[in-house]
């Protein structure tokens, strides 16, 4: 993040706008919304600025900028449109340590202004860090249509009850839960529908009723985060993540997904890495239980789907045996994500009538699998954790009757920007993986469904070889 987002209180400090044209008028509208009373310095000004000065909403001094104008300002905007003036304003402000924005000149600015959605007192700022302001504006347009116009009224309504809620519900965690329920519950709906009297009555009984209730216990949501692309998370996964007090996450869950957790949520890495010793499953279970029993909402965040090679079942059993409330939120499993990302259907009418998810993980070099049934025809095999045992898997399948020429596609880091797809015939699989430096996480898809991918790779290879031929002959 190149820019730090913050909201300035300009109601108590002077602000300065240098320039009297349309750009200055636009910035003034914004400052006036924030209850500022800006000083405008410009020899001439457009009608709008003259009018604002006449109404006493701004001060306008019809003269050139002087560095002394900066003194005591909370914020400065240079909008003269003249390079030498805007540069002088920027230099003077920076020398005085006052935040400065020069219109359309991020290199001269120490802050930039975001696209704004105004549901006062709720304000949303959207910034592309000056790289793509049009994109920021398009996002604003989309959000504008999603957010009810009455949202500001809802925020004010909640603000009016903050003290009463705090007096009734002393515990911070319980209070946060109360508000989370409030904003997605029927009282908030009443406010948004304009029925403030009904909402007020309902709110009072909600607060009083809530105070009489027992303190709630914690819970664990075992959440599938999908194969890597954050857009493949479900809405429910996102919601649970944003509600969580504690997040325990695995190596396969990227930081861009963990970042959806609340800023004040505790984040505990429980995956394996070279620098960080793995937590054992027993330690992870104990950690989840400890936090949930202390009344916290725990999210156990896992790559893909928690119930597919994710040990979600064991964790659920452990927690339920201790009387802890458990919810499982499914995720897009690696086979589904990788197949889609590589354009390989897992089933295909007449060609692949079944798909089997299997693990290549092996304690003693050989996974314990029913090779004969896996080698039986018209099915797709999706092999998880199979990079190191790929040679053995291929050999056993061939021994049990699967054609050595069966197409295979290996998708490493599927759905992520660094995704790599390698194809091979079954008999060449181990060699191709080594040659391509596939280290994982990778999913191996074995079956006729991978034929198109294999053939287009072979065609590309042939084309490259043909292109290289005249050069080779010329040498």
Residues that bind ligand SAM (CB under 6 A): 227-228, 252, 302-305, 308-310, 333-334, 338, 384-385, 411, 413-416, 440-443
Structure tokens at 37: 């009373």
Name which of 19 and 441 has its Cβ closer to ligand SAM.
441
| Residue whose CB is less far from ligand SAM, 18 or 397 | 397
In the complex, least distance from residue 260 CB atom to ligand SAM, rounded to whole angstroms: 18
Q: In whole angstroms, what is the distance from residue 20 CA to residue 279 CA?
A: 63
- Cβ proximity to ligand SAM, 233 vs 442, nearer residue: 442
Beta carbon nearer to ligand SAM, 103 or 223: 223
Instruction: State which residue, 51 or 440, has the beta carbon closest to ligand SAM.
Output: 440
Residue 271's CB is within 10 A of a number of other CB atoms, namely 16
Q: How far is residue 61's CA from residue 32's CA, in Å, rounded to a whole number? A: 17
Tell me if 305 sits within 8 A of 197, measured CB to CB: no
Active site residue 363: no
Of 219 and 413, nearer to ligand SAM (C-beta) is 413
Q: Which residue lies nearer to ligand SAM by CB, 288 or 411? A: 411
How many CB atoms sit inside 10 A of residue 263's CB? Answer: 5
- Closer to ligand SAM by CB, 38 or 441: give it: 441
Q: How far is the CB of 222 from ligand SAM (least distance, A)?
A: 11
Alpha-carbon span 382 to 361, nearest angstrom: 13
Q: How many whole angstroms separate alpha carbon 432 and alpha carbon 429?
A: 5
Which residues, including other chains, have CB under 8 Å from residue 329's CB and lie 6 or more apart? 221, 222, 223, 224, 234, 236, 237, 240, 306
> What is the smallest separation between the CB atom of 340 and ligand SAM, expressed in angstroms?
11
What residues contact residue 449 under an 8 Å CB cut-off, 6+ apart? 344, 345, 346, 347, 348, 351, 352, 380, 407
Cα atoms found within 13 Å of the Cα of residue 376, Cβ hemisphere only:
8
Q: Which residues contact 391 (CB under 8 A, 6 or more apart)?
A: 429, 430
| Closest CB 184 distance from ligand SAM, rounded Å | 29
Q: Are 209 and 286 in contact (CB under 8 A)?
A: no
The answer to whether residues 78 and 108 touch, using CB atoms and an 8 Å cutoff, is yes
**Nearest CA among 259, 330, 248, 260 for reference residue 289:** 248
Residue 434 C-beta: closest distance to ligand SAM, Å: 17
Nearest to 147, CA basis, from 122, 180, 127 = 122
Asked if 379 and 352 count as a contact pair (C-beta separation under 8 A), the reply is: yes
Catalytic residue among 33, 104, 171, 272: 272
Q: From residue 428, how far is each of 171, 375, 419 by CA, in Å?
A: 62, 17, 21
Cβ of residue 238: shortest distance to ligand SAM, in angstroms?
18
CB of 344 to ligand SAM, least distance (A): 13
Q: Which of 229, 250, 302, 305 is catalytic?
A: 250
Q: Which is nearer to ligand SAM, 102 or 335 (CB)?
A: 335
Closest approach, Cβ 228 to ligand SAM, in A, equals 4
How many CA atoms are closer than 13 Å to the CA of 59, on its beta-carbon side? 10
SS (H, E, C) 372-401: HHHHCCCEEEEEECCCCCHHHHHHHHHHCC
Count Cα neighbours of 405 within 13 Å in the Cβ-side half-sphere. Answer: 2
Please state the closest distance from residue 224 (CB atom) to ligand SAM, in A. Answer: 7
251 is catalytic: no
Name the residue with the smallest CB distance to ligand SAM. 304
DSSP 39-81: EEE-SS--HHHHHHHHTTSSEEE-S---GGGGTT-SEEEE---
- Whether the CB-CB separation of 231 and 332 falls below 8 Å is answered with no
Positions annotated as catalytic residues are: 250, 272
């Amino acid at each position: 993040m190149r820019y730090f987002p913050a909201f300035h209180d300009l109601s108590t400090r002077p602000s300065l706008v240098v320039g009297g044209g349309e750009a200055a008028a636009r910035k003034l509208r914004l400052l006036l919304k924030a209850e500022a009373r800006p000083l405008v310095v410009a020899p001439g000004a457009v009608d709008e600025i003259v009018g604002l000065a006449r109404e006493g909403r701004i001060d306008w001094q019809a003269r050139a900028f002087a560095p002394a104008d900066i003194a005591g300002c909370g914020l400065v905007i240079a909008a003269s449109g003249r390079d030498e003036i805007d540069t002088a304003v920027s230099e003077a402000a920076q020398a005085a340590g006052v935040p400065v924005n020069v219109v359309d000149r991020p290199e001269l600015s120490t802050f930039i202004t975001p696209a704004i959605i105004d549901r006062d007192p709720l304000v949303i700022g959207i910034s592309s860090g000056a790289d793509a302001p049009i994109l920021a504006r398009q996002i604003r347009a989309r959000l504008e249509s999603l957010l009810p116009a009455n949202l500001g009224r809802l925020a004010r309504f909640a603000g009016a009850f903050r003290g009463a809620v705090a007096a009734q519900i002393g515990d911070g965690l319980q209070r946060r839960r109360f508000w989370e329920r409030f904003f997605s519950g029927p009282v908030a709906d009443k406010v948004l529908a304009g029925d403030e009297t009904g909402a007020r009555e309902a709110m009072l009984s909600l607060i009083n009723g809530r105070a009489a209730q027992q303190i709630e216990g914690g819970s664990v949501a075992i959440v599938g985060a999908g194969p890597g692309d954050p857009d493949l998370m479900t809405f429910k996964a996102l919601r649970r993540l944003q509600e969580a007090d504690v997040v325990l996450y695995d190596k396969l869950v990227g930081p861009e997904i963990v970042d959806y957790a609340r800023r004040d949520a505790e984040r505990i890495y429980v995956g394996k890495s070279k620098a960080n010793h793995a937590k054992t499953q027993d330690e992870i279970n104990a950690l989840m239980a400890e936090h949930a029993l202390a009344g916290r909402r725990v999210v156990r965040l896992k790559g893909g789907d928690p119930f597919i090679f994710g040990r979600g079942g064991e964790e659920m059993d452990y927690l339920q045996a201790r009387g802890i409330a458990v919810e499982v939120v499914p995720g897009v499993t690696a086979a589904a994500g990788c197949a889609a990302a590589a354009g390989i259907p897992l089933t295909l009418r007449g060609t692949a009538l079944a798909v089997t998810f299997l693990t290549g993980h092996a304690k003693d070099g050989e996974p314990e699998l029913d090779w004969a049934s896996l080698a039986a025809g018209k099915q797709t095999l999706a092999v998880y954790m199979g990079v190191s045992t790929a040679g053995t898997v291929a050999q056993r399948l061939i021994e049990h009757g699967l054609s050595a020429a069966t197409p295979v596609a290996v998708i490493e880091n599927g759905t992520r920007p660094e995704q790599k797809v390698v194809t091979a015939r079954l008999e060449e699989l181990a060699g191709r993986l080594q040659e391509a430096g596939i280290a994982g996480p990778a999913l191996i898809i074995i079956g006729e469904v991978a034929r198109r991918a294999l053939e287009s790779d072979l065609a590309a290879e042939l084309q490259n070889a043909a292109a290289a031929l005249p050069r080779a002959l010329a040498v």
